[in-house]
Amino acid sequence: MPHPPRRHLISIDDLSYEDMHGIVQRGVEYASGRCEDARPLRDAVVGVLFRKTSTRTRTAFSAGALRLGGQLISYGPGDLQENTGETVEDTAEVLSRMLDVLVARTAGSEAELRAFASQQRMAVVNAMSAAEHPTQALADLTTLQGRFGRIEGLRVLYVGEGNNTASALTLALSRYRNTTLHLRTPPGYGVEQRFLDRAAVAAKSSGATVDQRHDMTGLPTVDVVYTTRWQTTGTAKADPDWRSVFAPFQVDEAVMAGSPDAVFMHDLPAHRGDEVTAEVLDGPTSIAFEQAENKYHSARAVLEWCAGGSRRGSVDV
């Protein structure tokens, strides 16, 4: 019997606004505890492939799949026959005949994940590629929706490297009406222009604003201050003096004082004393660990979206 096409999540841009909004709202519902009996992955098998380290994302999707009634198969970086020369396409074709969903952190290019998604039997979720971290953005939106009751009109200041988290956040926030995202990134470490261009297209319809500067002067008053670690997972910087370039982009109490009503967010792991001071991360305005918990709630919403109407069995929500 032919299988209906799967829903893949490789980039935020793979989601319609309605899909993205639905995932966020469902994540908030899971966070509220109102959906603990939902088993949309009953009888489904979820593969979890992580070639790079992970605490939050791997645990969130593993626990999420199990909580939703699914069965789990975990793969380490050396477990698949790609290591002996099998193509990604052949690997995907084989896995698709046994798995319903594959959650993959390759830390490589999006093209590799697209190759995994070239078949139509198994949903593929990007758990972080080199350029974009879409499931982090969905967890962030879930956190914002839960905290403020809205995303529309929020003002966000992102400080630090324009990494895969920043790229995904840029694509996501530009979809929401009248949001403002101020990117303050070190010179030479900004969000890539291709993501800014894609966000600009979305912003034309939503009325959102995205601007990027490479200094810390004249910081705006915002609702949210967000940063990430300076050393993105699985990467290294070519410039041996990069720390001197990043030093002005630390979030400290002075930065937070400029937005006295703002909350502080961090995708973790954090290095206190680098991108953020301990006083801010562990202080009363920080919702970083609430944000981390929402990775789990959001992961359940993503898995449910992938399974929605496309699983071998019935969907029970």
In this prediction, residue 236 carries a pLDDT of 80
Residue 308 has pLDDT above 80, yes or no: no
**Which residues have a Cβ under 8 Å from the Cβ of 255 and sit 6 or more positions away?**
159, 216, 219, 225, 280
Q: Quick one: CA torsion of 17, 23, 29, 31, rounded to 10 degrees?
A: -120
Rounded-to-integer distance, Cα 311 and Cα 281, Å:
41
Domains detected in the chain: 12-132+295-307 (3.40.50.1370), 135-293 (3.40.50.1370)
| Cα 51 versus chain centre, distance | 17
Determine the average pLDDT of the residues in 66-86: 91
At residue 156's C-alpha, the angle toward residues 152 and 158, to 5°, is 145
**Minimal CA–CA distance to 70: which of 111, 91, 100?**
100
**Minimal CA–CA distance to 265: which of 273, 256, 274?**
256
- Global pTM value: 0.93
Are 160 and 130 within 8 A, CB to CB? no
Rounded-to-integer distance, Cα 225 and Cα 286, Å:
9
Eight-class DSSP state of 5: P
Q: Which residue has the tokens 């002075």?
A: 254
What percentage of the chain carries pLDDT values higher than 70?
A: 95
Residue 317 has pLDDT above 60, yes or no: no
At residue 109's C-alpha, the angle toward residues 21 and 128, to 5°, is 45
**Which residues have a Cβ under 8 Å from the Cβ of 41 and sit 6 or more positions away?**
65, 68, 69, 70, 100, 101, 303, 304, 307, 311
Determine the average pLDDT of the residues in 150-168: 98
Determine the average pLDDT of the residues in 291-295: 98
Q: What confidence tier does 229 reach under pLDDT thresholds 50, 70, 90?
A: very high
State which amino acid sits at residue 211: D
Q: Give the containing element (helix H, strand E) for 255.
A: helix 253-257
Rounded-to-integer distance, Cα 102 and Cα 47, Å:
5
- DSSP helix/strand/coil, 158: strand
Determine the average pLDDT of the residues in 54-71: 97
Rounded-to-integer distance, Cα 227 and Cα 186, Å:
12
Residue 181 dihedral angles phi and psi, to the nearest 5°: -120, 115
Rounded-to-integer distance, Cα 161 and Cα 183, Å:
9
Rounded-to-integer distance, Cα 4 and Cα 281, Å:
45
Signed CA dihedral, 114, 117, 120, 123: sign only: negative
Residue 298 has pLDDT above 90, yes or no: yes
Rounded-to-integer distance, Cα 317 and Cα 306, Å:
13
Determine the average pLDDT of the residues in 236-246: 91
